[in-house]
Amino acid sequence: MTTFPPRTLRLDALAYGGDYNPDQWSEETWKEDVRLMQQAGVNLVSLPVFSWPLIEKTPGTYEFGWLDRVIDLLWAHGIKIDLATATATPPAWLVRQHPDVLPHNADGTRLEFGSRQAYCPSSLTFREHALRLTEAMANRYGDHPALALWHISNEYGDHVPRCWCPISAEHFRRWLERRYGTIDALNTAWGTSCWGQNYTDYSQIEPPRTSMGPINPTQQLDFERFSSDALLELFQAEIDVLRRVTPDIAVTTNFMSLFKELNYWDFAAAEDLVTDDAYPDPADPYAHVPAALNYGLMRSLKGGQPWLLLEQAPSAVSWRDVNVPKAPGRMRLDSLQAIAHGSDGAMFFQWRQAKFGPEKYHSAMLGHRGENSRSYQETSALGAEIKKLGAIRGTRVTARTAVVVDWDSWWGSAAPDSLPSQRLDWLAQTRAWHGALYALGHTVDVVKAADLTAAYDLIVVPNLYIVDDDQAQSLTTFVENGGHLIVGPFSAVVDPTEKVHTGGAPGPLRNLLGVEVDEWWPVPDGQERTITPLPGADKSTPLTATIWTEWIDPTADADVIARYEGGVLAGRAAIVRNHHGNGAAWYVSAALTDDSLEELLRLVLEEAGLPTRPTSNRRVEIVTRTDGTTDYTFVLNHGTTAATVSVPTGAHDLLAGTDVTEHIEVPSLGAAVLRHPARYDQDLLTVTIPSKNIEV
Ligand code: GLA
């Protein structure tokens, strides 16, 4: 029997399988399930995610019989378990005995039992019952050979990311008191002398509820931080129980990609394995681009360690207004994209398509038609292919660029009011900057604006509204050591208490960026602004900005790279570059369109000594995983026409089982996984896509 290092996924192959809800089916059906799972190459299933009410029908009495039987049956067929602690949704009896476990919305309305996740994150009653169940689960199954991983709760914050009930309000006050100490310190931090908001006692403070006008921005920001922390506290409480009872078993909770409500840097630090649920919309022909950003985040949350795609839809979901299925090949390609980006497997929601309940129209590996369903045909074919990729397990993705993701800045810049413009959207900006790097052929990691290493040649900062001195120092050191940095508009505006930096933006980054911002000049809806062409570019193609521009003044040493044309800002600097130490820092004062961002980032990449694709392209993606000796280069064609791609020497296509020389043709929605000797400079320099084959 394989032995596994402590707190790692106990599986010696890429994971393949999905959520399994045996409690919705008869035991006769279970037998068919395991047979078909085996046939489809399933080696891991997640269960029993929502079964608390069946395990604990009456308080404190656990009925494990059915769960024992299903776990033993799965194990007898060689299938391991991502074992849920089953605390994702409380039973009705708990809610009725203790109505105060139910969450409230900002208006004070209590949310009623009738869906899942019917709990307030701060409820100690809920926590006590959840921990008791967690301990019972750990005692019961901690030694079971099928146990591969603990799956704590499910998608924290999916339905209830914030709660405004009296218990949450009390928890918020305690959190604030821990953060600020005296009430005077809180008054100073929140700037309550504005609009007469001063407090004389913590008991006077409430979460930001529906109010008469704009609410104190720091109060709002702290409520975001608190709400993320409240769920993290609950997560940590379950982790503590599991670490005590089963210290060697890895723990995870499934994330929801770039999810605004939870600071995943903190959540990832608490767990052993990052897992993600990804639902790119098949109706969007470019959904794979933000998916690449999400996967970049997942692999970066624990410093490049492999992660696991724990849920994706085999075809349609059931929770959008219009739920478009995946075209043949799309599910395979989406799965391979996640693996390319560092996932050690591909899992689905769910195994068998439901017959009842809100998810009966959600696709599953085994569709309503059973073995003949297209989803079973396609997922079982992929299950066979995944086995050919076993050598990839544990390898790392290579990336030379990274994008800064910071939840404080996301929350602060998303305040519902009192900003220069409500149109500058953190997620849209971050996706746009990442998308431009993607189009130019780069795989992009994600970093905090802290502890930056020289591992990257270029770090992009689309929108870092809040900057403290440590972050500023980290960014500065990165550039001084030779790194290239580019910072987008409305960055380094305020400190962590939302106070404007003395002297204005970009506050502690002023010297690094070589610029001072005088005023924000948001662009009215529907209008555009032009910016002079970049050096070396065709003089007839100015850059275009929408949404946002700024009145800035460069310092004497900084180079003005481009200027505004026309309008009030005509002739003023728009894009500035400042050589600093051994590197360079750029400041972009406008929200550029996708084409303009691509042009600018092409220039910045070239100056950083990094390659760029001759023609930008968002359809054909090339990502490399490596063990240092052998590279695995994934060529993923998300487009509607075939692409011809030149290949490195000594390449062998693991999926086709053939050696490849010079070129490979990859059909629409097709993929190749090329194994070849590792090359330090393996990226778009060595794998190029002839432009005639590219549908841009
Ligand atoms: C989430 C949940 C699952 C299921 C899927 C459907 O990811 O974790 O339980 O509801 O959505 O897409």
* 311, 312, 318, 351, best to mutate for ligand 1 pocket (most atoms within 8 Å of CB): 311
Question: Which residues does the annotation mark as catalytic?
Answer: 155, 311
How do the domains of the chain map onto residue ranges?
A: 15-162+231-389, 166-219, 401-607, 620-695
How many angstroms separate the alpha carbon of residue 344 from the centre of ligand 1?
A: 20
pLDDT bucket at 695, cuts 50 / 70 / 90: very low
Which atom of ligand 1 lies closest to the CA of 49?
A: 9
| pLDDT tens sequence across 314-351 | 999 999 999 999 999 999 999 999 999 999 999 999 99
Q: How far is CA 644 from CA 14, 200, 634, 674, 694, in A?
A: 28, 69, 14, 14, 8
- Taking CA atoms only, the protein residue closest to ligand 1 atom 12 is 317
Peptide bond into 473 cis (omega under 30): no
- Do strands 515-520 and 620-626 pair parallel, antiparallel, or not at all (unpaired)? unpaired
Instruction: State in words which class domain 401-607 has.
Output: alpha beta
Q: What are phi and psi of 551, to 5 degrees?
A: -90, 110
CATH fold, domain 620-695, is: Immunoglobulin-like (2.60.40)
Q: Distance, CA 349 to ligand 1 centroid (Å)?
A: 6
pLDDT in tens, 113-141: 999 999 999 999 999 999 999 999 999 99
**Residue 679 CB neighbour total at 10 angstroms:** 17
Just give the CATH number of 15-162+231-389.
3.20.20.80
Query: Residue 634 pLDDT > 60, yes or no?
Result: yes
Compute the distance from residue 66 Cα to the ligand 1 centre, in Å. Answer: 23
Q: How many other CB atoms are there within 10 angstroms of residue 321's CB atom? A: 4
> Which residue, 660, 669, 656, is CA-closest to 385?
656
Q: Is the peptide bond before 462 cis (omega within 30 degrees of 0)?
A: no
CA of 284 to the centre of ligand 1 (A): 20
Report the residue among 45, 155, 347, 360 best suited for mutation to probe ligand 1: largest number of ligand atoms under 8 A from its CB.
Answer: 155
Mean pLDDT of 144-149: 98
Rg over alpha carbons for the chain, rounded to the nearest Å, is: 26
* CB 132 within 8 Å of CB 86: no
pLDDT category of residue 688 using cuts at 50, 70 and 90: low
| Cβ neighbours around 677 below 10 Å, total | 12
Q: Given ligand 1 and candidates 359, 360, 365, 375, which is best to mutate, with the most ligand atoms within 8 Å of its CB? A: 359
Number of the ligand 1 atom closest to the C-alpha atom of 155: 8
pLDDT single digits (tens) 463-477: 999 999 999 999 999
Protein residue with its CA nearest to atom 4 in ligand 1 = 349
The pLDDT of 213-231, averaged and rounded, is 98
What's the token pair of residue 214?
A: 């704009």
Distance of CA 240 to the CA centre of its chain: 25
Q: Is the CB of 349 under 6 A from ligand 1?
A: yes
Closest CA to 219 of 195, 247, 244, 250: 195
686, pLDDT greater than 60: no
pLDDT in tens, 560-572: 999 999 899 999 9
Q: What is the mean pLDDT of residues 362-383?
A: 98
Quickly list H helices, 481-574. Answer: 510-513
Summarize pLDDT for 225-264 with one digit per residue, the tens: 999 999 999 999 999 999 999 999 999 999 999 999 999 9
47: tokens are 């269960």
Tens of pLDDT, residues 538-597: 667 899 999 999 999 999 999 999 999 989 999 999 999 999 999 999 999 999 999 999
Ligand 1 center to residue 332 CA distance, Å? 19
Check: CB of residue 597 under 8 Å from CB of residue 545.
no
Whether 166 contacts 120, CB under 8 Å = no
pLDDT band of 685, cuts 50, 70, 90: very low
* CA–CA gap between residue 464 and residue 644 (Å, rounded): 39
Nearest CA to ligand 1 atom 7: 277
Ligand 1 nearest-atom number relative to CA 319: 12
Mean pLDDT of 631-639: 95
Question: Nearest-CA neighbor of 487 among 523, 511, 518?
Answer: 511
The closest residue, in CA terms, to atom 5 on ligand 1 is: 349
In short, whether 617's Cβ falls inside 6 Å of ligand 1 is no
Q: Could you tell me which residues come within 8 angstroms of residue 128 by beta carbon, excluding any fewer than 6 positions away?
A: none
The residue contributing the CA closest to ligand 1 atom 3 is: 349
Q: What percent of the chain has pLDDT over 90?
A: 93
Distance CA 126, CA 414 (A): 31
**Rounded to the nearest whole angstrom, what is the distance from the C-alpha of residue 53 to the centroid of ligand 1?**
18
Same fold, 401-607 and 620-695: no
Averaged pLDDT score across all residues of the chain: 95
Query: For residue range 3-43, what is the model confidence (pLDDT) as tens digits?
Result: 999 999 999 999 999 999 999 999 999 999 999 999 999 99
Helices 183-190 and 166-180 pack at an angle, to 10 degrees, of: 90
Burial 242-267 (b: 16+ CB within 10 A, else e): bbeebeebbbbbbbbbbbbbbbbbbb
Residue nearest to atom 11 of ligand 1 (CA): 349
Indicate whether residue 277 lines ligand 1 (CB < 6 A).
yes
CA angle 104, 107, 112 (to 5 degrees): 35
Work out the number of other CB atoms within 10 angstroms of the CB of residue 213.
7
CB distance 362 to ligand 1 below 6 Å = yes
Quick one: pLDDT at residue 681? 53
CA atoms within a 13 Å half-sphere pointing along the CA-CB vector of 163: 30
Point out the ligand 1 atom lying closest to the alpha carbon of residue 317: 12
Mean pLDDT, residues 79-105: 98
Closest ligand 1 atom number to CA of residue 311 = 7
Half-sphere exposure of 49 (CA within 13 A, CB side): 21
Phi-psi region at 262: left, alpha or beta (left = phi > 0; alpha = psi -120 to 50): beta
Provide the pLDDT for residue 614.
Answer: 86
Q: Is the CB of 276 under 6 A from ligand 1?
A: no
Contacts of 181 (CB under 8 A, 6+ apart): none
CA of 439 to the centre of ligand 1 (A): 30
Nearest CA to ligand 1 atom 2: 155
Q: For residue 220, give every residue at least 6 positions away whose Cβ sits within 8 Å of its Cβ, in sequence order, or none.
A: 208, 411, 415, 416
Output the pLDDT for position 692.
43
Ligand 1 center to 46 CA (angstroms): 12
